[in-house]
Amino acid sequence: MASASPTRAKDIPAKIVVLGESAVGKSSLALRFVRRDFIPNQEATIGASFLSRSVSLVDESPPVTIKFEIWDTAGQERYRALAPMYYRGAAGALVVYDITSADSLRKAESWIGELRRNADPQTVVVLVGNKCDLESMRQVSIQQGQDLAEKEELLFYETSAKDGTNVDALFTNLGKTLLSRGVIASGVDRRSTMSRNLQPPGSRTPKSEQQKRCDC
């Protein structure tokens, strides 16, 4: 069980980066989690946006509160060179694809390869198939997503930023995994200093266990 809580000094910070092709719903996913909101025709991210939300994991012993510090990166190719600025030092990474676009899964696989080559080996990576509310337009099967996640030893979820399916569950399980693997511990994410202090050029604050299926 997880619940939102106000930020406190004892919250455990965890830097999370969101990667993927343009228009797969990265910003919408982050906004759904942080603000419980969905904005149709969301503007494309320029550079990166920063959002945060603290979540209490009350079934941990003792209960802990994680402050997810989320860097939502631009998906356009011209911004790809900036990506290492955001995933360097990240405790977790969400690699997002759109279930209605087979090409976006191929691009997600490319992002996974880049993380394997360049990111901290301890970074917990989650493969996320977004837009599962658009079942009639599906081009990527659940099995395809599962197969890639299993091959790369990643967590896997299908989500809907529009209706909220699996969004909280994704972050709750990510938080538990970060704790169980020792990526964050003792009230300090040893790699979150960058996320608290970094405001890279082009960044802005926006306006406004493995999942086996999508319960849409």
Q: What is the pLDDT of residues 159-194, one digit of tens each?
A: 999 999 999 999 999 999 999 999 997 444 444 434
- Model confidence at 1, pLDDT cuts 50, 70, 90, reads low
Residue with tokens 């209960």: 63
Question: What does the pLDDT read at residue 206?
Answer: 37
> What is the average pLDDT value for the chain, to the nearest integer?
82
Do 158 and 28 contact (CB within 8 A), yes or no? Answer: no
Question: What does the pLDDT read at residue 214?
Answer: 46
Question: What does the pLDDT read at residue 109?
Answer: 97
Question: What does the pLDDT read at residue 48?
Answer: 63
Q: Residue 20: phi, psi to the nearest 5?
A: 150, 170
Among 81-85, 93-97, 126-130, the range scoring the smallest mean pLDDT is 81-85
Burial class (CB in 10 A: 0-12, 13-18, 19+), 105: buried
Question: What does the pLDDT read at residue 108?
Answer: 97
Question: What does the pLDDT read at residue 35?
Answer: 93
Do 29 and 18 contact (CB within 8 A), yes or no? Answer: yes
- The C-alpha atoms of residue 55 and residue 60 are separated, in whole angstroms, by 12
- Taking the model in full, what pTM does it have? 0.81
Do 135 and 190 contact (CB within 8 A), yes or no? Answer: no
**Between the CA of residue 134 and those of 41, 47, 159, 210, what are the distances in Å?**
15, 28, 11, 21
Residue with tokens 């099995």: 143
- Model confidence at 142, pLDDT cuts 50, 70, 90, reads very high
CATH architecture observed for domain 12-181? 3-Layer(aba) Sandwich (3.40)
Do 194 and 89 contact (CB within 8 A), yes or no? Answer: yes
- Model confidence at 84, pLDDT cuts 50, 70, 90, reads confident
Among 10-14, 73-77, 85-89, 135-139, the range scoring the smallest mean pLDDT is 73-77
Confidence check: pLDDT of 67 > 90: yes
In percent, how much of the chain has pLDDT > 70? 75
Question: What does the pLDDT read at residue 40?
Answer: 76
